[in-house]
Structure 1
Amino acid sequence: MTTTTTRTVVYPADGLTMVGHLALPAGTDRRPAVLVGPEGTGLSDVERRRADALAELGYVALAFDLHGGRYLSDPEEMLARCLPLLADPDRLRDIGRAALDALYAEPRTDPGRIAVVGYGTGGAVGLELGRGGVDLRAIGTVNGLITGRPGESANIRCPVWAGVGSEDPIMSSAQRDAFTDEMRAAGVDWRLTVYGGALHAFHHPPVDHPTVPGFGHHPRHARRAWRDVVDLLAECLPLGSGDVGTGGTRAA
């Protein structure tokens, strides 16, 4: 049986050499494609496995890089890198567009059928691509309910789904309200799922670096959030009869 394949994709962005993870479904035909954006710590095996799971479903999937091939396990180093990024929509868009260019360069990618699913900073990248007018079929963001510059969300032309933990101290109720107010004012087709009792990065399995207050894995909600992502793609980026992969949705 033909299986999915993976390879490393190297491309420039934000003055760095980014190292992404491309996963391809079985076959040789063009398929709908998904950009997968990582948390602020950077690309890890968590996002690589999610790209692999999407390829098993039948999508071309590129898990993109934020930090030039580095994973920033030290919280202070991560904040020093990410806070300026999150404050600069143009840099976020440039990082996203560079990843999109790498995805477009893959012959299996159908350029008219692309979605972005991101976590934390990676979710903010997806939202800024939409605010920048990029033609997307869907944007999904977990923990990344970052508001944009006034009026620019009117450029988003696709459904937006956002997921957040109810106890997330970073994506507080005030931040959630600001995000939903922005989506509402812009006339975006949006949904917000609040996962009761979950902290920031609840979707991310434990890793080998110091625990940060307010961060924590919630296995049950992680599985639910992944199902919500798959449902978003099934609605907005459906696979045709010839697009079906080898099956499976496990990634959370």
Structure 2
Amino acid sequence: MKSKYIFALLVSFLSIMTVQSQLKAIAYADGNQKLEGFSGKPMKANAKKAGVLILPAWMGVDAHAKESALELSKLGYFTFVADIYGIDKRPANSQEAGKIAGHFKTNYKEYQHRIQLALEQLIKSGANPKEIAVIGYCFGGSGTLETARANMPVKGVVSFHGGLGKDASRSVETIHPKVLVLHGADDFFVPDTEIKAFQDEMRAAKADWQMVYYADAVHAFTHKDAGSDKSKGVAYNEKADKRSWKAMLDFFDEIFN
């Protein structure tokens, strides 16, 4: 019995290592700023060689973003986890993360440029440049909307519990990529005024957009390390996590067909 258990553990370990080996660290740069993203190549690519760019949450490249890249690669997608901050700009805590993320939210052109550089790396890895989607979590979710606002050459963007706002002084342009926002119904970090402004923006931009609310879910509902205390405004919700992942895959079926 014990030997069977050990064998099962060994098989599980080897399976994990095989999947992880599909992610490769990629060095690239923005001028003098060194960046390091992670590229995932599918064992068997889908027919269109579609690619998905993953924008991490405010702590930068993290295990959650890498896990998403691996899971999507297993489904046949080329993937790339973007490095928005830089190798030597990794925040040590939430206070530092808030400061760095705030800089990019304010200086949105810089954020858009870093996203564009990551898109180029995704395409270099083998993804079809005409079949690209961008997904992001929290701060990365905000980045997906900046991708859409900049009308980068992608078919669609998916924001998981991301910020929705932008400076009201910015002009509203027609948005061509399709937009899917997956939102915690109890996320008090995104006030109703921001939600309304976002929806008004989407209408004014004549965007093809969807917004899905998940009951009992707050900010970071897809992050398993976020704990379970909703009162803090950040907590994992297994049901919302699974439902939002399925919503994303259904969205992919639409935009890539």
- Tell me whether the two structures share a fold, i.e. TM-score over 0.5: yes
Structure-2 residue corresponding to 1:95: 114
DSSP-derived class of the 2:242 partner: helix
Mapping of residues 132-143 of structure 1, within 5 Å: 132-143=150-161
Does the 8 Å CA contact 2:22/2:41 hold for their aligned counterparts?
yes
**Superposition deviation, residue 97 in structure 1:** 0.7
Question: Deviation at 1:161?
Answer: 0.3
Distance 2:59 2:151 in 1: 27
Q: Deviations over 1:138-197 (max 9, x none)?
A: 11111224334543441x212100011112121122211111111011110100011111
Q: Partners of 1:100 and 1:193 in 2: how far apart?
A: 26
Name the CA distance, whole Å, in 2 between partners of 1:98 and 1:112.
16
Q: CA deviation at 1:133?
A: 2.2
Higher relative contact order, structure no. (Cα contacts within 8 Å, ≥ 6 residues apart): 1
Alpha-carbon spacing, 1:38–1:212, altered in 2? closer, same or farther (3 Å): farther
Q: Deviation at 1:71? A: 5.0
Equivalent pair of 2:148/2:179 in contact (CA under 8 Å): no
State the AA in 1 paired with 2:206: G
Alignment map for 1:32-71 (pairs within 5 Å):
32-69=50-87, 71=90
Aligned position for 2:216: 197
| Equivalence for 1:110 | 128
Aligned equivalents of 1:67, 1:96: Cα separation in 2: 11
Match among 77, 85, 98 for residue 96 of structure 2: 77
**Deviation per CA, 1:37-67, whole angstroms, max 9, x where unpaired?**
1111111111111111111111101111222
CA distance 1:14–1:81, change in 2 (3 Å):
farther
What pairs up with 1:75-224 in 2 under 5 angstroms? 75-106=94-125, 108-148=126-166, 150-154=170-174, 156-206=175-225, 213-224=232-243
Letter in 1 for 2:72: L
How far, CA to CA, are the matches of 1:125 and 1:223 in structure 2? 22
Instruction: Provide the residue aligned with 1:250 in structure 2.
Output: none
- The yes-or-no answer on 1:19 pairing with 2:39 is no
Find out whether 1:10 has 2:22 as its counterpart: no
User: Which moves more between the two structures, 39-48 or 3-12?
Assistant: 3-12
Contact 1:5 1:25 in 2 (8 A): yes
For 2:43 and 2:93, the matched residues in 1 are separated by: 38
Residue identity (%): 24
Q: CA RMSD in A?
A: 2.4
Structure 1 residue 129, shift from structure 2 partner: 1.9
Contact map agreement 1:95 1:125 (CA 8 A) in 2: no
Would you say the 8 A contact 1:145–1:179 is kept in 2?
A: no
TM-score by length of 1: 0.84
- Choose between structure 1 and 2: higher helix proportion: 2
AA partner of residue 142 (structure 2):
A
TM-score (norm 2): 0.83
Corresponding position of 1:245: none
Question: Offset at 1:30?
Answer: 6.6
Give the direction of change, closer, same or farther, for the CA distance of 1:164–1:207 in structure 2 (3 Å limit).
closer
CA contact (8 A) 2:84 2:115 kept: no
Q: 2:194 is paired with a residue of what secondary structure?
A: helix
Is the 8 Å Cα contact of residues 8 and 21 (structure 1) preserved in structure 2? yes
What secondary structure does 2:57 align onto? coil
Write the distance in 1 (CA, Å) between the matches of 2:132 and 2:48: 12
